[in-house]
Structure 1
Amino acid sequence: MPLFTDQTGRTVSIPSHPKRIISLVPSQTELLYDLGLEEQVAGITKFCVHPEKWFRSKTRIGGTKNVKPEMVHQLQPDLIIANKEENVKEQVEELAAHYPVWVSDIHDLNSALEMVRQVAIITNREEKGQILAEKIETDFRQLTYRLPHHENIPVAYLIWRHPWMTIGQDTFINDMLIRCGLTNVFGHLKRYPEITIQDLKDSGCRRLLLSSEPYPFKQQHIDELQKELPNTKIILVDGELFSWYGSRLQYAPAYFLSLFTSDISVI
């Protein structure tokens, strides 16, 4: 069987035509769909909500953090696609003892595009993957020129409440903010740090973005935070378009352009 090197540096032996694929990551599940692998994908997680018809019809093998090995064994996959951050290392290692497991490691747009191309090659959809990656790359390049001049507006991006959590420098979301011409006020921190309202006040952020996932922020949370941050513009944003690093990226540049130009007060 052909050998492939995944994004963690592991060498994986994968059949040249995998026919029973399990995806452990929502954004990569959607990529498999857009690559036209309807017949080949046998299992997904309970969080793989796109496409909806797969969510309703494909076998769900648990969650991203609690894969049910007995269900995986029932499906007898010849390829499992996982992610270093979203899946649990010990669970991935256990599955890798039985099946070929290819693991992505995404930190920015470039590593996401590499993943798209590699998954397409592994699944015999190289041309489709290349076309998709080129479109995403081109649209993000044009985004830089089409967005209004932001002057590196300081922003904060919240992903959780109780406790408040934000994103640090070594995250995919941080790279998306940078590509929108924004400056993450917590960019000096690592991963997904906990912060306080006082930290937000002291940060000097002029824009506060509340994500729709993993915590489902709503208007009531804008109202709650606005009392504490009266001089900060607070907006709800689509978390999938800031954090899903698969084929959903093809919609992100247009969304960012709409988000940051639809209301002049946001800029």
Structure 2
Amino acid sequence: MIFKDQLNRELELKRTPKRIISLVPSQTELLVDLGLEDFVVGVTKFCVHPKHLRMSKKVIGGTKQINIEKIKSLHPDIILCNKEENTEAIIESLKDVAPIHISDIYNLEDCFELINMYGTIFKVDKTASSLISNIQKERENFQNQLQNKERPKVAYFIWKDPWMVAASNTYIDYMLGEAGYLNVFSNEERYPEIDLSHSKLKETDIIFLSSEPYPFKENHISDLKTQFPEKKIKIVDGELFSWYGSRLKQSYSYFSLLKSGK
């Protein structure tokens, strides 16, 4: 059987994969929610959802550095990767180990396409369709709440030393729009490094500090308050802005709480 991934690469599978390695935390969670936990044999150290998974599966490294010998020893039928999360070197090193499926996510359409792809590849089409339907309902309910409401301007920090923000052409930027915000760095690309004196920060109504990949804490709010005493500064759940797949089930209820000031 010939399948295509989100980079339009072809991969050939002789049978439905029963030994799956996932190198992407959000995709690992998606596999579990599609009922495929028993077929997952290898995960990364960052695959934290569900919490018990790393205790029952082989941890094969991280998303940027892997133990290829551990991966080979698991005899995978398929390896699931992501263009942004995993490096070209990793993909190249695994090409002779097993067929590789690469995701490439920028918006909801891409998310739903990936869920449907997994539904087809792993023969869980009905579960995949049901998951998409549930996410769409959550989104519709939230978007109805947003109608005619003001969209605050935000800056979304993902890193410190150097300071980095999420800008355009990223999934986070798309999800900020979904949540009812305007990204002041939407005129820049990807994840630019910025100085705290950047003029765009003066335009913000709110500064978001993401809980990941940099683990921003309350003390960082205090530090920034010295420079931006009039700004609202808030730590937000980075998973609900950057994890695609089944985590989207929780994103819209979280966005609703954010908009209510909680």
Instruction: Tell me if both proteins adopt one fold, taking TM over 0.5 as the criterion.
Output: yes
Deviation at 1:90, TM superposition (A): 1.8
Distance 1:207 1:148, change over 3 A: farther
Q: If the length of structure 1 is used for normalisation, what is the TM-score?
A: 0.94
User: Within 5 A, what are the aligned runs for 1:171-182?
Assistant: 171-182=170-181
What is the aligned partner in structure 2 of residue 162 from structure 1? 161
SS in 1 for 2:48: coil
Q: Measure how far apart 1:200 and its partner are.
A: 5.8
Q: Which residue of the partner structure matches residue 22 of structure 1?
A: 21
- The alpha-carbon deviation at position 246 of structure 1 amounts to 1.5
Q: Distance in 2 between matches of 1:151 and 1:262?
A: 14
Pairwise mapping of residues 130-209 of structure 1 onto structure 2 (< 5 A)? 130-147=129-146, 149-199=148-198, 202-209=201-208
Distance 1:119 1:58, change over 3 A: same
Q: Which deviations, in whole Å up to 9, do the C-alpha atoms of 1:87-136 show, x marking residues without a partner?
A: 01121122123311000000112111111111121111111011101111
Are positions 1:95 and 2:94 aligned together?
yes
Cross-structure match for 2:106: 107
Indicate conservation of the 8 Å contact 1:148/1:261, yes or no. no
Which letter does structure 2 place at the counterpart of 1:176?
M
Q: CA RMSD in A?
A: 1.4
In 1, distance between residues paired with 2:18 and 2:178?
37
Measured after TM superposition, the shift of residue 38 of structure 1 is: 2.1
Q: Supply the distance in 2 between the matched residues of 1:48 and 1:65 (Cα, whole angstroms).
A: 13
One-letter amino acid of the counterpart of residue 243, structure 1? S
The answer to whether the 8 A contact 1:156-1:208 is kept is: yes
Displacement of 1:34 after TM fit?
0.7
Residue 116 of structure 1 corresponds to which residue in structure 2? 115
Runs in 1 of length 4+ with deviation above 2 angstroms? 147-152, 200-203
CA change 1:117–1:124 in 2 (3 A) is: same
Query: Which residue is 1:253 aligned to?
Result: 252
Residue 138 (structure 1) shift: 2.3
Deviation at 1:180, TM superposition (A): 1.7
Consecutive unaligned residues in structure 2, runs of 5 or more = none
Kept in 2, the 8 Å contact 1:207–1:233? The answer is yes
Q: Give the 3-state SS of the residue equivalent to 1:159 in structure 2.
A: strand
Give, in whole Å, the separation in 2 of the partners of 1:87 and 1:30: 17
Partner of 2:237: 238
Identity level (%): 44
The separation in 1 between residues aligned to 2:90 and 2:201, in whole angstroms, is: 40
Give CA deviations for 1:46-72 in whole Å, capped at 9, x if unaligned.
Answer: 110111111221101111001111111
Note closer, same or farther for the CA distance 1:143–1:8 as it changes in structure 2 (3 Å cut): same
Whether the aligned pair in 2 keeps the contact of 1:15 and 1:78 (CA below 8 Å) is no
1:16 is paired with a residue whose SS is: coil
String of CA shifts for 1:210-262, please: whole Å, max 9, x gaps.
Answer: 11101111111111111111221111110111110021110100010011114
Equivalent residues, number? 262
The CA distance in 1 between the partners of 2:190 and 2:152, in whole Å, is 21
* Corresponding residue of 1:73: 72
Q: Give the conservation status (yes or no) of the 8 Å contact 1:67–1:91.
A: yes
- Please state if 1:225 is matched with 2:224: yes
CA-CA distance at 1:202 after TM superposition: 4.7
Aligned-partner Cα distance in 2 for 1:247–1:137: 12
Instruction: Give, as a single letter, the amino acid of the residue that structure 2 aligns with 1:64.
Output: T
* 1:62 equivalent in structure 2: 61
Post-superposition Cα deviations, 1:140-196, rounded to whole Å, max 9, x if no partner, equal: 122111137442321000011111110011111101111122110011111111111
The 3-state SS of whatever aligns with 1:199 is coil
Match of 1:194, SS? Answer: coil
